[in-house]
Amino acid sequence: MSRRTVLRDHHGERYSFQLRLLVAITAVLIGFGILLGRFVFLQVIQYDKYHTLAESNRISLVPIPPSRGIVTDRNGVVLAHNFSAYTLEVTPSKLPGKLNDTIDALAGLIEITAKDRRRFRKLLEESKDFESLPIKTRLSDEEVARFAVNAFRFPGVEIKARLFRHYPMGESASHLVGYIGRINDRDLKKLEEDERLAEYRGTDHMGKFGLEQSYEEVLHGKTGYEEVETDAGGRAIRSLRRSPPVAGSNLVLTVDIKLQQLVEQAFGDRKGALVAIEPSTGGVLAMVSRPGFDPNLFVDGIDPVSWRELNDAATRPLNNRAIQGLYPPGSTFKPFMALAALETGKRRPHDAIADPGFFILGNHRWRDDKLDGHGMVDMVKSIVVSCNTYYYKLANDMGIDLISGFMGPLGFGSKTGIDLPGEKAGILPSQEWKRKAFKRKEQQRWLAGDTISIGNGQGYNSYTILQLAQATATLVNNGVQYRPHLVGFIEDSASRERRPVEPQPAKQLPYKPAHIEVIKQAMVNVNLAGTSAQAFASAQYTSGGKTGTAQVFSLKGAKYNASTTREELRDHALFVAFAPADKPKIALAMIVENAGFGAQHAAPIARKAFDYYLLGKLPAAEAPAPAQPAPPSPPPSPPQSPIEEFMSRPHVD
């Protein structure tokens, strides 16, 4: 068998090997090129980005919340301030076991009450699981030490040092100072919409009510930051840089807290409101709403039981009656009606009418408080003796359009613009208002009889006590009207430099000085010899005032008897006043709900306020007057119309 000779193609093999080698070298070079390009891209082109990321892993940016500004009255008395304390906080998302088991275990170390648990559950419902929530606040040093040695047993639980808000006056001035509360989801959404979320990093609370809410941006301050270097485990090693927070500015109010407390004490257990204003500036000297509430309940998060007690109470303690309560002004409306008559030429001061004790229009008869009338009554006498018949006839002669047109510029039926949230506008009746207020066409027509009760401050009239106080201050300030305000100065918390809240006149109402003097003198005579003379007997100053009584429900022709009427259905007592008469330093309006006649129940409170503010007299502590008992009676039928409610009953101021 022959052996074949195999010839190898060495040239081809060499070429193939070289080709494979070239491909391999090219692939290696491309790979290294890619790596080199990536290296250049990461280390050169995107150096700043990745350097920042690396630094963020090494450096933590810790927000430092600012100290909230304090609130003082005009004399420097502190109404809201801060103090530091320790709080025990739980982050639910970091707990290894069940939340309730952790709380039960904590209760073995630190006393956690049922109220603490209820408050915590409420906060949990309003917050995210990853948030740190307080289960116990204001820990003692002993409690802090006790937890510190057992902290290893409670991952997700820690002690934090925080600033707490405190309201040392408690219920006093609670409606105007307000309170702060924990920031909830709705607050966060609003802050994000306003592009202010960064300002609240590290902050758990914000203003929720009163001045705390309306001056939130001023009081809050500016958040600071600290750069902290951390190790791989996230533990702080050292502080690299610190940008200190800027404390919030302080508020210096126009309010005199002693005057505020004196009036609150004078109200006792009775419901009502009082607003006292400095006519020459518009500064509010006192704003009382009774009953009040303790704002300290809200700082740590109010528990559900306390919330229900406040929110569901029949006395509505959370309602600021001074700016949210709407009331008919009763006979306190008469001085403004008289001024309107003078300014519009419908009456002269000496024009008199014969008062038979009633006024008749069509088939309806409106009665006066004095059955046989007051005889001949001119303008001054109509205010001094509070003659209803005079104003029935005056309202009929003026007509609703003339009345509403005059009362609007005084501020009736519109918000004053006071620096508090929640103010209501009230109702200044007019033909246009009635067309919008009622759905049925037959109810939209303004009737001649509707106007009669308007002139006496009843009917559709519905105003706040603040509006009544502002109108009184404008009247005695010769028509110069200021915007009521509670904050007099905004004070820098570091330098103590004060920036005044300028009392710029809102407007000058074009009243004739002689007309204003007639009304003011008539109101002076009210306190000297009229319906409130007894309350101001032997006063060391001359003052002016006007009493008023406003009905709560329709008697449908029956005779009103306070002793046989349930307390919540009795008339409201009102009063407006100013002093001294020659150059008023204070003007006020007030209401005592369901108290009866203004001369008996409202004017004496005003006298105490004037005695303190003008003379520095503080009365001895008085026990609150108990509510007058009354036998039960069935509720009356619902009222039909303001005419029928008012025309058949007399009113004694």
- HSE at residue 242, side-chain half, CA atoms within 13 A, is 7
Question: What does the alpha-carbon distance between residue 27 and residue 335 come to, in Å, rounded to a whole number?
Answer: 102
Give the residue carrying structure tokens 């001074």: 322
Q: Identify the burial level of 569 via C-beta atoms within 10 angstroms of its C-beta, where 0-12 means exposed, 13-18 middle and 19 or more buried.
A: middle
| Phi, psi dihedrals of residue 115, rounded to the nearest 5° | -65, -40
Contact (Cβ atoms closer than 8 angstroms) between residue 269 and residue 624: yes
CB 631 within 8 A of CB 447: no
Compute φ and ψ for 592, nearest 5 degrees. -115, 110
Please pick, among 127, 174, 214, 331, the residue that the annotation labels catalytic: 331
Helices (H), 495-568: 513-529
- The Cβ-side half-sphere exposure at 339, using a 13 Å CA radius, reads 31
* Residue 364 marked as a ligand binder: no
Q: Which two tokens stand for residue 575?
A: 């009063």
Between the alpha carbon of residue 293 and those of residues 160, 172, 177, 464, 483, the distances in Å are: 29, 8, 11, 20, 27
* Helical spans, DSSP H, in 345-458: 379-384, 388-398, 400-410, 431-437, 441-444, 448-455
Exposed/middle/buried for residue 447 (C-beta within 10 Å: 0-12, 13-18, 19+) = middle
Residues 6+ away with beta carbon under 8 Å from 512: 342, 343
Residue 602 burial class via C-beta count within 10 angstroms: exposed 0-12, middle 13-18, buried 19 and up: buried
Q: Are 580 and 608 in contact (CB under 8 A)?
A: no
231 labelled binding-site residue? no
Instruction: Give CA–CA dist 88/91, Å, rounded.
Output: 10
368 is in an annotated binding site: yes
329: tokens are 């002004």
Cα–Cα dist 625/266, whole Å: 9
Q: Find out whether 428 and 460 touch, Cβ atoms under 8 Å.
A: no
- For the chain, count helices (H), then strands (E): 25, 23
Query: Quick check: is 331 catalytic?
Result: yes
Report the C-alpha gap between 270 and 602 in whole angstroms: 11
The length of the chain in residues reads 653
Strands, DSSP E only, in 179-322?
A: 179-182, 205-209, 224-230, 236-243, 250-253, 272-277, 284-290
Answer yes or no: is 450 a known binding residue.
no
Residues 609, 263 contacting (CB under 8 angstroms): yes
Token duo for residue 422? 């929640």
Helix/strand/coil for 36? helix
Bind-site residues for Zn(2+): 355, 368, 374, 387
Bind-site residues: 355, 368, 374, 387
Catalytic residues: 331
